[in-house]
């Protein structure tokens, strides 16, 4: 963690970070927002901050386990005066299951989830049936999940996991114009990785 990230955590956590042990009430946090979007694994928060800036009428909650990423995003929130973004330092699977009310979220963003590329590591991938059960419970009617990956084997895996899950419909989409190109994605593209975007919607 850099000094600036540590300083941002000391200075801004009280204002912008949520406490994972207490129940999270998205509709109270963003009572005037049109929609509420949760990002799972926001990393250093590059895309998160740019998207929050693009959609000031949407409330965003970014969940990330890696403390330096929380610090980096707090710096961006303070610099950009982003009042529509809150952070949660936690394992998204546990936090969503235990601390978020059901039917409270309009959409999830999952950008470039860790690919766990070795066959024996695949079970660590976050996109799995039980995780989709949690997301399905937390989404409002017609809620959606947007995913991007630059790992072809993970893209195939995502397609298969959703096909086997009865709650969602959708699949591969064109890269949406609102999703910014981040340094992380740029690195993948320079290695000739193919980026796949998916949108899945909760069936009615
Ligand atoms: C490959 S990085 C991508 C980060 C970012 N979305 C981007 O596009 O640059 C994946 C991120 O997911 C986070 N992560 C992995 N599992 C997580 C979990 N269960 N809950 C929250 N964050 C998680 C990691 O710490 C890491 O920052």
CATH code of 163's domain: 3.40.50.150
Q: Residue 156: what pLDDT? A: 97
Atom of ligand 1 nearest to the CA of 93: 19
Residue 137: both structure tokens together: 């419970």
Residue 13: both structure tokens together: 């956590």
| Edge-to-edge order in the sheet of strand 85-89 | 85-89, 58-64, 35-40, 105-111, 139-149, 196-202, 168-173
What are the residues facing 107 on neighbouring strands? 37, 144
What mean pLDDT value characterizes the chain? Answer: 96
Residue 64: CB within 6 Å of ligand 1? yes
Residue 69: CB within 6 Å of ligand 1? yes
Residue 11: both structure tokens together: 């200075």
Cβ atoms within 10 Å of 10's Cβ, excluding its own: 10
Pick from 86, 111, 72, 69: nearest CA to 26:
86
CA distances (Å), 50 to each of 5, 76, 100, 168, in order? 18, 9, 24, 28
3 is catalytic: no
- DSSP code string of 13-82: HHHHBPPTTSPP-HHHHTTT-SEEEEEE--TT-HHHHHHHHH-TTEEEEEEES-HHHHHHHHHHHHHHT-
pLDDT in tens, 118-174: 989 989 999 999 999 999 999 999 999 999 999 999 999 999 999 999 999 999 999
**What pTM value is reported for the model?**
0.97
Domain extent, residue 99, equals 3-202
pLDDT in tens, 73-104: 999 999 999 999 999 999 999 999 999 999 99
Atom of ligand 1 nearest to the CA of 63: 21
Count of structural domains within the chain: 1
119, 83 contact by CB (below 8 A): no
- Residue from 3, 114, 177, 197 carrying the catalytic annotation: 114
């Amino acid at each position: 963690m850099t000094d600036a990230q540590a300083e941002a955590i000391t200075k801004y956590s009280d204002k912008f970070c949520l406490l994972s042990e207490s129940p999270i009430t998205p509709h109270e946090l963003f009572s005037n927002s049109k929609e509420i979007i949760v990002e799972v694994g926001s990393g250093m928060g590059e895309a998160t901050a740019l998207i929050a800036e693009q959609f000031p009428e949407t409330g965003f909650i970014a969940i990330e386990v890696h403390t330096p990423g929380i610090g980096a995003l707090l710096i961006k929130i303070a610099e950009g005066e982003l009042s529509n973004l809150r952070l949660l330092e936690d394992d998204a699977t546990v936090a969503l299951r235990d601390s978020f009310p059901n039917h409270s979220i309009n959409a999830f963003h999952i950008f470039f989830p860790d690919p766990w590329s070795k066959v024996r590591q695949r079970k660590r991938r976050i996109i799995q049936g039980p995780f989709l059960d949690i997301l399905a419970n937390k989404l409002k009617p017609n809620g959606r999940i947007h995913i991007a990956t630059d790992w072809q084997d993970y893209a195939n895996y995502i397609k298969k996991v959703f096909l086997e899950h009865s709650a969602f419909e959708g699949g591969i989409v064109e890269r949406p114009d609102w999703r910014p190109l981040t340094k992380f994605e740029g690195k993948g593209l320079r290695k000739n990785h193919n980026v796949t975007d998916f949108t899945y919607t909760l069936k009615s």
